[in-house]
Amino acid sequence: MDAVVLWSLGVVALACAVAVFVCDSMARATFALLGSLVCVGGVVLVLGLPYLGVVIVLMMVMEMVVMAVFMIAYMMNPAGLMPMSMLHNQRGALALSAAVFASLTAAVFLVPWPHRRGSPPRDTTFQVGKALMGEQMLTMIVLGFVLLATMVAATVLALRRGRYDRLGDGLDRRPARDPAGGGVGR
Amino acid sequence: MTFESVFVLAAGLFSVGLFGALSQQSIVMIMMGIELMIGGIVVAAADFWHFLAPAAADGQVVIVAAVVAMAVEMAMGFAVTTALYRARQVDTTDMAQELKG
């Protein structure tokens, strides 16, 4: 039963992944990517990691909705009404990715992998939680700082006006030059 | 389904994503390719955890790190796209070649 589910999830994941770069419509490409990544979450779930699988599915649904908004905002051909090629160096990319796929597949069949050691714990969620709060604490701390830095950096990059626009190059212009007045006494 | 076939799925997702990231012009489509590559890494980590070392939590921690990498990549990618588009109305990589040596 598990094998059937895994096989079908895998086939759908790969088909959707190919569809991402075949569809003309950007909306369709986004939802193909969503389908592929939801299948990835399903594979993780079937492999015995229910918590991480569900987290991946939920996160991908939100992420692809955000992605769809950006697609429509930035792409010149969001609905695919006007088929056009947006590719460069297609042959080189195809050759390189085929070589990567061939070498990875060869590696998995040629490398003498070790035998399965130990058995899965009863509660895999408890296992990952205990690891992240125990021996992998440093990983968790680094991930936390990375996420904080991402929030700050993404906000700074996306802002239209920074502090040098408001306060001048020496940061000494008072009051700040703002497009609209406001605040106390202004 | 065995260890090898799940790993072939991971390799397939990674390679399709690599093709997209290398061949697409639109910055948003490149980000979609990178998402697929990280999706392949998630599948491979789950595969290693389930078939080789289920007693250790390290495979799961790799998945957590990969999922965080996905989120960070999306957020920073869209921030850079916004900044680039605002500065010079550019939305494809071929139009943003100022730093090309």
pLDDT (tens digit per residue) in A52-91: 999 999 999 999 888 888 877 776 665 666 666 677 888 9
Give the CATH fold of the B3-90 domain: Helix Hairpins (1.10.287)
Contact A16, A39 (CB under 8 A): yes
Sequence ranges of the domains in chain A:
1-79, 124-176
Query: Could you report the per-residue pLDDT of A93-124, keeping only the tens digit for each?
Result: 999 999 999 999 999 999 999 888 888 999 99
A–B CB contacts, 8 A cutoff, strictly below = 232
Whether A100 has its CB under 8 Å from any CB of chain B: the answer is: yes
DSSP label of A114: P
Q: How confident is the model at residue A132 (pLDDT cuts 50, 70, 90)?
A: very high
Which residues of chain B have a pLDDT value below 50?
none
Q: Which amino acid is at B18?
A: L
pLDDT the model gives residue A162:
80
Q: How far is A35 from chain B (nearest CA, A)?
A: 11
Cα(B45)–Cα(B64) distance, integer angstroms? 10
- Report the interhelical angle of A124-132 vs A137-158 (nearest 10°): 80
pTM of the model: 0.88
Whether A12 has its CB under 8 Å from any CB of chain B: the answer is: no
Q: In this structure, what token pair is assigned to residue A20? A: 């991402």
Alpha carbon of residue A39 to chain centroid: 14
